[in-house]
Structure 1
Amino acid sequence: MCVEKKEIVAYLQPKVDLQSGQIDGFEMLCRWQKERHQVLSPASFLPHIQDSEVMIELDKYILKLALECLASFDQQGLECHLSVNVSAHFFTSENFLQFLQEHAQEHTQLTPRLTLEIVESVALGDLEQATERLQACRNLGLRIVLDDFGTGYCSLTYFKALPIDEVKIDRIFVKDFIANPDNEAILTSIISLTHQFGRRVVAEGGTQSHCFAVAACR
Structure 2
Amino acid sequence: MSLIGTWMQRLAVGWLVYSHTHSALLLGLVSFSSQIPTLLLAPYGGTVADRYSRYRVLLVTQIASLVQACVLAWLVLSGHYATWAVAGLSLLLGTINAFDIPARQSLMVELVDDRAHLPNAIALNSTMVNLARLVGPALAGLLLARFGEGPCFVVNAVSFVAVVASLLLMRIAPRPRAPTARGPWKACAKAGPTCAGPPPCAARFC
TM-score (norm 2): 0.29
Larger RCO of the pair (alpha carbons < 8 Å, separation 6+) = 2
Decide which structure has greater strand share.
1
Bigger radius of gyration, 1 or 2?
2
TM-score after normalising by structure 1: 0.28
- Normalized per residue, the structure richer in helix is 2
